[in-house]
Amino acid sequence: MIRKIPVGKKVIDAIYFHKDYLYDMIYKHKLVPKEVHDKASLECMANYYNWEILKYDSRKRTFTFIGCPCFDYHFEPAITYTLTYNFHTDKVTERHYQDGTIPAKNPPIYHHKWLMVSDDYSRFSVEQVKMRSILIEQVIKKYHINKSKIGFLNFWQKEVMPLIRKEV
């Protein structure tokens, strides 16, 4: 796997990136518009939540704070909530994937998290996560796994993880 952009996971019209790179995404790489940073209410809302990942969707014109507290610790971290601001409607939408401290039974998860950080990110081994991404892609191809289902914890744990263990 190779990076499509300097930092961030590009999925169609959306870019997912770790919050440490917000300034770079706006001012250095110019992949996120300055209005995202300028929106004071957006920054105030973000202070109420403990978020790790940001998503900017250029087609929908939305910006999402994503709670993913295990981002640095799990290969496939689970999402706990999202808080999305829509620039067209000036509205905020919340979605929670857990009830208080009780995690959801089937939350969305991330793969290839190394794309959301730079190669010198220090809170996990970027090289180790890259190697896991290669293994994941090999398993998906070899076993003809439906990629549209791997983004949820239950399918991942029941269908994909046993195949990954088998390959290691």
> What does the pLDDT read at residue 85?
87
**Nearest Cα residue to 167 out of 129, 141, 128, 130:** 141
Ranges of residues in the chain with a pLDDT under 50 are: 40
Q: What confidence tens digit (pLDDT) does each residue in 125-146 have? A: 999 999 999 999 999 999 999 9
> What does the pLDDT read at residue 168?
82
